[in-house]
Amino acid sequence: MKNFLSAHDATTVPDLVNQARQYKQTKNHNRELADGKTLINLFFNPSLRTRISTERAGYELGFQVITMDAAGGWKLEFEEGAVMNLDSAEHVKEAAGVLSQYCDILAVRSFPGLEDRQADYEDRIINAFVKYATVPVVSLESAIRHPLQSLADCVTIAEHRRSERPKVVLTWAPHPRRLPQAVANSFAEWMVKWGEVDLTIANPEGFDLAPEFTAGARVLHDQEAALHGADFVYAKNWSSYADYGATADLPNWTVSEQKMALTNDAYFMHCLPVRRNVIVTDGVLDGDRSLVLQQADNRTWAATAVLAALLGG
Ligand code: CP
């Protein structure tokens, strides 16, 4: 693996899922692979899970880990040929080149602006780092994908499935803020590429994800119809792709105990952080079918498998 930006970078998704599960079973016994190597994590946006789980994964393999919070005053320039006489103090060409000299793997998190769809869907920040870095680049979430989250979600489903090919429903749920499509895009992409589940996506009219991510999934605009017979329910809010960045106030899409009763005693999943009683009711989130903490735990083992694969381990 050269870089880790999407499901397409995995040699095979089933192999990567199995490797993550193996690292989970052998935790604290994998410190030699990255002995003497350095991992730099660069965050342009805040994070709890991605930051701590990736650091933990680095330590698991023996990396020295350096994390830089670049969300504050460090303004990078990404435009080719820019006249840098405004706010940006440094061009990504130098920043990526310099950081590459300090580490063996460079991991980057950035969010979309949700104003300019074309710019966001070109995934300019992560792709600029790939272009100018001389070490492997890991996406810690980009404008349009969250691949480490999705790999952890595959691991969680693999651990809990009760049939060879479970029905997985990704459902839109309400949120008071405009959110990226990254988690939902990535989840759909990984589920289809994994090939071991049947994926249904439920979202209101006007909230269909970009077609490049939903090929191979069934898309319904009726949440209750989608939930019938589900083995896993994955709730997430995303803003509109068609009316780019727009959101909607639709409290009838909250995942509740009544909605979960339509399923095949499904497990509930969410990437966290979650808005209680907006995305999902307390009863579902605190219930015995909720897998949200297991998903967060599996972030470490997903990241461990990816970092090891990038080192050729
Ligand atoms: N799920 C996830 O990426 O969480 P953080 O934003 O806390 O990293």
3-class secondary structure per residue, the chain: CCCECCHHHCCCHHHHHHHHHHHHHCCCCCCCCCCCCEEEEEECCCCCHHHHHHHHHHHHHCCEEEEEECCCCCCEECCCCCCCCCCCCEEHHHHHHHHHHHCCEEEEECCCCCCCHHHHHCCHHHHHHHHHCCCCEEECCCCCCCHHHHHHHHHHHHHHCCCCCCEEEEEECCCCCCCCCHHHHHHHHHHHHHCCCEEEEECCCCCCCCHHHHCCCEEECCHHHHHCCCCEEEEECCCCCCCCCCCCCCHHHCECHHHHCCCCCCEEECCCCCCECCCECHHHHCCCCECHHHHHHHHHHHHHHHHHHHCCC
Burial of 282 (0-12, 13-18, 19+ CB in 10 A): exposed
- pLDDT of 28: 87
Alpha-carbon gap, residue 4 to 138, rounded angstroms: 5
Ligand 1 center–CA 248 separation, angstroms: 23
Q: Average pLDDT for residues 24-43, to the nearest whole number?
A: 95
Determine which residue's CA is closest to atom 3 belonging to ligand 1: 50
Residue 60 in contact with residue 23, Cβ under 8 Å? yes
Q: Ligand 1 centroid vs 148 CA: distance in angstroms?
A: 10
Q: Identify the pLDDT of residue 161.
A: 98
Q: Is pLDDT above 90 for 29?
A: no
Ligand 1 pocket, residues with Cβ under 6 angstroms? 47-50, 141, 149, 271-272
Pick from 42, 138, 140, 141 the residue to mutate for probing ligand 1's pocket: most ligand atoms within 8 Å of its CB.
141
pLDDT tens per residue, range 267-287: 999 999 999 999 999 999 999
* Nearest atom within ligand 1 for CA of residue 46: 6
The CA 143 to ligand 1 mean position distance, Å, reads 14
Among the atoms of ligand 1, which is closest to the Cα of residue 146? 3
What lies within 8 Å, CB to CB, of 28 at 6+ separation is: 60
Residue 74, pLDDT score: 84
Q: Give residue 104's pLDDT.
A: 98
Report the C-alpha gap between 273 and 49 in whole angstroms.
9
Residue 51 CB partners (closer than 8 Å, separation 6+): 41, 43, 67, 140
Matching residue, tokens 């119809």 = 225
Rounded to an integer, the average pLDDT of 237-258 is 98
Could you report the per-residue pLDDT of 81-106, keeping only the tens digit for each?
A: 999 999 999 999 999 999 999 999 99
- Ligand 1 centroid, distance to 48 Cα (angstroms): 6
Has residue 30 got a pLDDT over 80?
yes
| Ligand 1 nearest-atom number relative to CA 50 | 8
Closest CA to 252 of 230, 281, 275: 281
Confidence at residue 131, expressed as pLDDT on a 0 to 100 scale: 98
Chain segment 108-166, per-residue pLDDT in tens: 999 999 999 999 999 999 999 999 999 999 999 999 999 999 999 999 999 999 999 99
Q: Please report where in the chains the tokens 């405004």 appear, as a residue.
A: 86
Q: Which residues pair with 138 in a beta bridge?
A: 4, 107
Structure tokens at 71: 């969300």
- Model pTM score: 0.98
Nearest protein CA to atom 7 of ligand 1, as residue:
48
Distance 101 CA to ligand 1 centre (A): 28
Can you tell me the mean pLDDT for 286-312? 98
CA of 47 to the centre of ligand 1 (A): 5
Atom number of ligand 1 nearest to Cα 45: 6
Gap from CA of 23 to ligand 1 centroid (Å): 21
Mean pLDDT, rounded, of the chain: 97
Q: Write the CB contacts of 70 (distance below 8 Å, at least 6 apart in sequence).
A: 42, 43, 44, 76
Can you tell me the mean pLDDT for 256-263? 98
* pLDDT value of residue 72: 77
